[in-house]
Amino acid sequence: MNTSQFEVTLVDSMGSDLAVVNAARVSFNKQSEYETIEVGYDEDCNPGEPHTIKRLNNKDKKLIKYLAQHGHWTPFSQVQYQVRIKAPIFVARQWFKHIVGITRNEVSRRYVDSTPEFYEPTTWRAKPTDGAKQGSSGAAESQYFPNKYLKDIHENAIVCYEKMLAQGVCPEQARMILPQSMMTEWVETGSLAAAARIYAQRTDAHAQVEIQELAKMFGDCLEDIAPISWGCLT
């Protein structure tokens, strides 16, 4: 049986911190450029051969901070990302609730009939102790039986799924017996502004633990595209 974990991979990107700055400055028919400075250290701040680097000037950095603090989102929408994400169905369906500024294409089991992969948690969490209707608390008292139940379901689901396909059932119907713990994959394209909104909501302490994990991986994947902007937005 194949088990898997979350994956987030950057496929492509367009724009930078400078693109955000110039999207804002166009209102005044102005444009910024990177400043060029000579340094004598490498990327890890170790002594090295003198060379030049390009970076935003302090005025432009302050502009980005101002835009983020005062909710001026449109300049941040000028920066675009494309990622490929792998997560279980129950996490993906929460993630897909975010639709503004985002487009997605998902692997379809109408066309794909390969052996499914499944997500298995490292720890089963207990019900909330404060009377809340959602969320969780610490580790559940029983770990053995939930693990056994889930493994049994995964093994039986694969056997039944493959038997149904072998008996001529179409993949678009055979997929109905696959559980929400099955892994799915999708390509997602969106703006930095939309990504920051997803990140803020899904890293919140009230979000489900699994989607918090995915959101943090998502943020780590995007931060290098426009690091100053991402830092100010998040």
Give per-residue pLDDT as tens, 140-182.
788 888 899 999 999 999 999 999 999 999 999 999 999 999 9
Residue 29 has pLDDT above 70, yes or no: yes
Burial degree of 114 (CB within 10 A; 0-12, 13-18, 19+): exposed
Give the residue numbers spanning the domain of 65: 17-78
Assess whether 205 and 154 both reside in one domain: yes
If residue 47 lies in a helix (H) or strand (E), which one and from where to where? strand 47-55
CATH number at residue 168: 3.30.1360.170
**CA atoms of 227 and 213, how far apart (whole Å):** 20
Q: What CA–CA distance (Å, rounded) separates 157 from 100?
A: 35
Q: What is the pTM of this model?
A: 0.89
- Of 26, 51, 78, which residue constitutes the final position of a domain? 78
Task: List pLDDT tens digits, range 30-89.
Answer: 999 998 887 666 566 666 677 777 889 999 999 999 999 999 999 999 999 999 999 999
pLDDT per position as a tens digit, 182-210: 999 999 999 999 999 999 999 999 999 99
Give the span between the Cα atoms of 192 and 200, in whole angstroms: 12
